[in-house]
């Protein structure tokens, strides 16, 4: 029997990536308020910095923070006897961290800024081992987390290309307003790093995190 595995995400791209690697996870979508969580984390870091303690919340920390919150939310609400994977992706571009634009005008302006430029797609991953056997051995669920960061080079799009892409609706609901495995593929010139991390779930990183929990990737397969 495969090790029970839960994906705490509604992303079709993440699910299809895992399925292509031979893993059929149970999908349980988290209910984390991402904006509220990040605002709270930034405020706490700012307060600590003013007091001369703590550390700054770096741009690459944002997606890992959300990934951990998503996995822990699913564990806390559903208590699955499984390893739970939380993921979140954001694009770092010109010193800013960009999530999903949601609005067509925002997506259009982002692409006008990004075209011909380079960004870094950060994909945070968090595994919570909530298996009963692990909890009995350690007294609590075990966490393993890290971030996959990949450099993305964008094509020099025309205004017409941007308008046509935004009109598809795809860039409104994905991190950084682009995909590399969908309709946005023609507009990404190249990447430096893990392709799967840009799609949304880094298979090599998941493998490494699983190893820290004493599980080999192939043990997730039937």
Question: Any idea which residues carry the catalytic annotation?
Answer: 88
85: β partners:
7, 127
Distance between CA atoms of residues 26 and 186, nearest Å:
32
Tokens of 187: 């507009």
Extract long-range pairs of 16-25: CB within 8 Å, 24+ residues apart.
17/196, 17/199, 17/200, 17/201, 17/203, 18/201, 18/203, 21/203, 21/217, 22/218, 22/220, 22/221, 22/222, 23/220, 23/221, 24/222, 25/85, 25/220
């Amino acid at each position: 029997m495969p090790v029970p595995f839960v994906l705490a995400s509604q992303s079709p791209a993440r699910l299809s990536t895992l399925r292509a690697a031979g893993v059929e996870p149970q999908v349980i979508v988290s209910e984390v308020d991402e904006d509220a969580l990040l605002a709270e984390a930034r405020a706490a870091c700012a307060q600590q910095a003013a007091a001369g303690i703590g550390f700054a919340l770096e741009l690459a920390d944002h997606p890992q923070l959300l990934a951990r919150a998503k996995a822990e939310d699913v564990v806390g609400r559903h208590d699955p006897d499984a390893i739970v994977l939380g993921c979140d992706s954001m694009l770092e571009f010109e010193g800013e961290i960009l999530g999903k634009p949601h609005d067509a005008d925002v997506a259009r302006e982002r692409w006008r800024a990004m075209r011909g430029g380079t960004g870094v797609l950060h994909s945070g991953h968090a595994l919570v081992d909530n298996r009963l056997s692990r909890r009995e051995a350690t007294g609590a669920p075990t966490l393993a987390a890290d971030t996959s960061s990949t450099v993305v080079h964008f094509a020099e799009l025309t205004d017409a290309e941007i308008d046509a892409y935004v009109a598809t609706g795809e860039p409104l609901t994905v991190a950084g307003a682009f995909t590399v495995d969908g309709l946005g593929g023609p507009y990404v010139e190249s990447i430096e790093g893990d392709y799967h991390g840009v799609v949304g779930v880094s298979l090599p990183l998941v493998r490494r995190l699983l190893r820290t929990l004493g599980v080999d990737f192939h043990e997730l397969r039937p």
